[in-house]
Structure 1
Amino acid sequence: MGASQSKSNAGDAVFRSEIPVQFSPDVVEQLSERQASATPTPERQSTLDEHIRSRIQSEVKQLRKAEEQVQHEIQLALEKENLDREKAMAGEVSGEQEAGVGSVKSSAALLGDLEETRSKIDRFQSRKSLADYPELKAGQEALVSCYKSHVTSSLECWKEVANFRNSVAQLEKDYFKTLQ
């Protein structure tokens, strides 16, 4: 008997208002515009754009960092491969060196040879100074001054050219005599 009163049915309760709910035409229009348009408001759009830009920039930074790392690894691998190839070539040729065939050298050995050759060239250049040969130096200076004074008519320097050639020929003869 009293059990039916203690039961509650929440879904069955309906309240009716005797005063009708009314909205202003502005509110109704604004809600209908928002629902009809698929584009967000300008404030929301600028926020979305900024968020997208920041994500793109962070992804670009990560990609560049990864690219630099890959390039560095490739460079190290190529250097190692080149050194291994040079060592292998030097090892293969070591038996041929005894037979008188040319040798393959590493980069370090070639750089050493290059520096040695440069020093020899510098010594040779210093020895061939014209200060040791005053007649040749005088002939050279006379020829240069004649060419400078006769810029448009260089054929007038034929005497200086002949004297310079004779000086060079005499120097060559003297040099070849020392070799014999």
Structure 2
Amino acid sequence: MQERGNGVSGWVGLNMATRGLPDFVEVNPVVGVCFAEYGEISRALMGDVPPGPVPVVSRPLGYLMPENSFRVWRFTQGEDPDLQARSIADAVRVYGETFIDAYGDWGRFSREIESAGLLADHERKKVLPIIFAMNGDTEQALEIVAEEQSRVLGLDDMYARSYRDFAGKFFDRFGSASV
């Protein structure tokens, strides 16, 4: 975590593939941006948010680099791990911090998040209403939640159950929809 001020933090997570143990482990760094207020609200509304910092947006580091592709750093037994660790740190500094700088500004982030292709489909209907509500556009937020709640009404999959729970908490916090 890198505190950036005003409730904004840069975040780096390390996904690890251990299928090569004990010979090697592969690391896929992920860079993200956390907004404290968003984290508090999402934790209250979503039952699946782990404790700790909540990156509202994140990208695997390789996709922020010129190659724009999946990238792993391999740590091999018997080799000096410092070379790979320095390579990750340098890539985070050059490419990750640029991402954090760009989306660590709430105004830019909240204007561009919908069109930037940064949210997976299953995230959009929870993340966007929170962002709209935080920006004072409660009407738009409630409309999104009501439409998605209506869409999943008769479904019984994990997403539908999770969304109905989210919608109930969202309406309790921000009011009812008049859609």
TM-score class, shorter: under 0.3
TM-score by length of 1: 0.23
Higher CA-based Rg: 1
Which protein, 1 or 2, shows the higher relative CO under an 8 Å CA cutoff with sep ≥ 6? 2
TM-score by length of 2: 0.23
Q: Which has the higher strand share?
A: 2
